Amino acid sequence: MIPDNLLIAVLMGGPGSEREVSLASGKAVLKALQAAGCNAVGVDVKDADFELPEGTGLAYNVIHGTFGEDGQLQSLLESRGIPYTGAGVASSKTAFDKNLAKEKFLAAGVPTPASEIVDVSGGVRLPSIPVPFVVKPPREGSSVGVTIVKEESQALPAMETAAKYGNDILVEAFVEGKELTVGILDDAAMPIVHIAPRDGFYDMANKYPWLSGGVGSDYYCPADLDAETTRRVQEAALAGHRSLGVEVYSRVDVLLDAAGNPFVLEANTIPGMTETSLLPKSAAAHGIDFPALCLRIAELSLAARSK
């Protein structure tokens, strides 16, 4: 239970590329917590020098991507002695860095696409993985800088784009199949969401058409999968979540190939949190409405930080 006098500061915005999305998530969480009877206030975070209201007992982190999701904010809050929601410093850093996360997946036997890390510090070069493949900057969220390469002519421009974000580019073998995501809450997998982009893949434009003017995506939850496939996907997602040591909750992205094999891509430790976002869709299909989900994350986080 949340103490009646606990002041919850909902941290939103942030300095990264997902600021506008985070503001939408933060406003939704703030409204939900207040509707649930919590003493909650919003804090628009623009940089590391943000101020918390006096007496803050819990920082509810809804800052997606850089700063909020990569361990920086978590470390800062710990130095201030403020409990916070979600993943801790180490697990946030690991989950946000696709290269570190890939190492953890492989070490734990989590099914994940074949890959290589291409060092472009000495100049952009091509991977040894044959086309088709996916080029990913390792430390960006919401598919920023990601390119699916299906023809040789697309390879070099894709690597050049990714090189703008760092020198250690992750290149994964392309897996053709259904795009799925699984909400994890309190070490349990919730119903699977099937994401069906109306055009291309699930990139920034199709995730947030209200920001980009993209055509968007359709969502089906629970996904139309047989019981055995559902079990395999949920088990793979939970294994990925556990391998990263993520506390409280996450949303794990999975590709399902035509043979019914799941491939874990990544775990999002600060997933979208509007009422229509994917984690809330998964929770709703599990019988947990949006205010109850926001409250449960706060309760679990307080318990985790008090250990």
268 as an active site residue: the answer is: yes
266 as an active site residue: the answer is: yes
Tokens coding 124: 């952009």
84 as an active site residue: the answer is: no
**Per-residue three-class SS string for the chain:** CCCCCCEEEEEEECCCCCHHHHHHHHHHHHHHHHHCCCEEEEEEECCCCCCCCCCEEEEEECCCCCCCCCCHHHHHHHHHCCCECCCCHHHHHHHHCHHHHHHHHHHHCCCCCCEEEEECCCCCCCCCCCCCEEEECCCCCCCCCCEEECCHHHHHHHHHHHHCCCCEEEEEECCCEEEEEEEEECCEEEEEEEEEECCCCCCHHHHCHHHHCCCCEEEECCCCCCHHHHHHHHHHHHHHHHHCCCCCEEEEEEEEECCCCEEEEEEECCCCCCCCCHHHHHHHHCCCCHHHHHHHHHHHHHHHHCC
282 as an active site residue: the answer is: no
User: Of these residues, 22, 25, 92, 142, which one is catalytic?
Assistant: 142
User: Of these residues, 69, 179, 203, 266, which one is catalytic?
Assistant: 266
Dihedral through CA 25, CA 73, CA 34, CA 303, nearest 10? Answer: 120
20 as an active site residue: the answer is: no
Tell me the Ramachandran region of residue 277: left when phi exceeds 0, alpha when psi lies from -120 to 50, beta otherwise.
beta
Q: Round to whole Å and give the CA distance between 168 and 65.
A: 18
216 as an active site residue: the answer is: no
272 as an active site residue: the answer is: yes
253 as an active site residue: the answer is: yes
Tokens coding 107: 């070490």
Active-site residue set: 18, 142, 208, 251, 253, 266, 268, 272
